[in-house]
Structure 1
């Protein structure tokens, strides 16, 4: 059928939506700090947003059961990063293309450091974008998921969640000026911060410290000195 594309994220329409996401994301992530950020994306060649206080990005493209880009591996296995390695994790449409949505989100949470920020973008299933995606996709179709589902997951995992935002144009557009937030936008954005563990105050413990008593005292004097020291 004419018009079908193998990679819908390479179309001008999705590239325009990603540009709209960047416009909203940039001011929200500008205060993120840390040595590294993780960019999980469905779009080939998509660039991570420039964050002045963040050192470096690792970009991983998620396509079904495969990981490509800075990391090559299986999308069915844990991400090859240590726990709490990133100050920010951006899942840009990655939950739409992964073979295991819950597993990828669990891994994103695992590698995010306490106090770090996670951002999730996607195509909203309610609106004109959803039927367009269904008509244009060839082969594996992106799995569009309601943003409230991810909101509930993040709240359950002890995140401080900002209100979900709709953004971009209401229908697929291949050009035009970038747009910000819109009540009927075709995309959505979730931003949440991983809570730090509560500080536990130390309880002082009284301990008796033995003090040497000179042996030149009389026995009664030594006993009196010990009682006085206690």
Structure 2
């Protein structure tokens, strides 16, 4: 069966990449109406309208838009009561496997291990830390059973004093055409573990989005993640 998808933000960088991937995949077809699954890679400002459209049409929706607020998350929760919603800060299969490994590592290492998240994206990236950086931060926080908001260090400048035990540090770089580099560093006394991922092309995000759409087609109402797609949930 061919899964029909409609892409919100189809003229953007990610929308174009998804359309190109779909064109070479016989399992999916891009349509302007009558979709089996909607894919939103537009902008935060359009998310509420797209969720309303999904609910009105009783059509599952994949959300890859980042930079969302608490109000956006509440709107997603509300929509998920009526339709299947899969939200991911990063659709790359590799990044989601990385988040799983990071969570498992955080479970097994105590607070004496310092954790830093380093990321770099292209110069046009608007949000910082990126959605992927926060995804990895939440994976660490979940592994340690803490709230990321309570232990996140994002603005270091000047005489900040010694590092606070148990906190998660973020370092953000922007420049050039980098699709996305992420590294999670677990630093202990005398040893260091580094888990990372480098995106060499935007195509990997598009491939993940298409895979997610195929998986989501026909699913009952509820909230889903890429962990569900990968069988990690």
Higher relative contact order (CA 8 A, sep 6+): 2
TM-score, with structure 1 as normaliser: 0.32
Higher helix share: 2
Q: What TM-score do the two structures reach when normalised by structure 2?
A: 0.32
